[in-house]
Amino acid sequence: RSFVTLAGVGHRYDPNPAIPSAVTGIDLDIRRHEFVAVVGPSGCGKSTLLRMIAGLLTPTDGEVSVFGKQVDGPRDDVGIVFQKPTLLPWLSVRKNVLFPLRHKYGRYSRADEKRADELLAMAGLESFADKMPDELSGGMQQRVGIVRALLLNPDILLMDEPFSALDAMTREQIGFDLLKIWEENPKTVLFITHSIAEAVLLADRVLVMSKRPGTVLDVLDVDLPRP
Ligand code: ADP
Ligand code: ADP
């Protein structure tokens, strides 16, 4: 049974029919714990698609549902990682990743702190938990952002070009670190990237979008042995 279902989903920002829809006619079933990457040229509607799944944007056509229930607003069970991690500069790395828990529940427990340290270790940040964000490289900060999103234990993790500001080697290292994390914390993931290599490394399926008319061109199954 699929977990996230898109049926005839489209979005038009401008009611003027002379301006094309950003996204049209997307049919997609994502299984629970499946990792789906989305690639395609700039402006083909990747972010629009992600925002509709997140419930941040309402489709103007069709329907997005999660476990059979129509998405009609921002959801608690969705974690989002954007291009820049926006860490709070006055809090340590550990306190940054615990911050959403504190914000949501007013407090966090010893067990949460232990979990934070475990996830940081898995992301290769074991010795950085007590450092301040500006002591970390861009790639490390981005990993902190991902750990922060995972600590809330979302059912669905949406990532919009989280590594596009990083150099190729850093991206690759983060890719391998993430694979370890997914193995131990399987999540339903939608991952937008400009990098086909990254998509193939991380994803079970790659959705290729085309610029006109903002729709899915092809869906590729990735069946590579994991390193
Ligand atoms: P990317 O290509 O990295 O997805 P863009 O530069 O296209 O980002 O968009 C950056 C921001 O500007 C996004 O939040 C998007 O919603 C907004 N945006 C993009 N195109 C338009 C537009 N034609 N009119 C208004 N806002 C737009
Ligand atoms: P991508 O993420 O693939 O770069 P987007 O989803 O950001 O693509 O944008 C798809 C199309 O929708 C583009 O033509 C973009 O200019 C337009 N667009 C994006 N956001 C907005 C917005 N807030 N208002 C109007 N047009 C937008």
What is the model's pLDDT at position 1?
Answer: 61
What is the model's pLDDT at position 49?
Answer: 95
The tens digit of pLDDT for each residue in 100-131 reads: 999 888 999 999 999 999 999 988 898 999 99
- DSSP H or E run through 12: none
The protein residue with its alpha carbon nearest to ligand 2, atom 11, reads 22
Question: Measured from the CA of 164, which atom of ligand 1 is nearest?
Answer: 3
Give me the interface pTM, i.e. the ipTM: 0.69
User: Which of 17-53 are b and which e, b meaning 16 or more Cβ less than 10 Å from the residue's Cβ?
Assistant: eeeebbbbbbebebeeebbbbbbbeeebbbbbbbbbb
Q: Is the CB of 94 under 6 A from ligand 2?
A: no
The protein residue with its alpha carbon nearest to ligand 1, atom 22, reads 13
Q: What end-to-end distance do the CA atoms of the chain give, in Å?
A: 29
What is the model's pLDDT at position 11?
Answer: 95
Q: Is the CB of 44 under 6 A from ligand 2?
A: yes
The protein residue with its alpha carbon nearest to ligand 2, atom 1, reads 43
- CB-based contacts of 142, cutoff 8 Å, min separation 6: 81, 85, 162, 163, 165, 166, 174
CA 162 to chain centre: 8
Mean pLDDT of 77-83: 89
* pTM summary value: 0.83
Q: Is the CB of 45 under 6 A from ligand 2?
A: yes
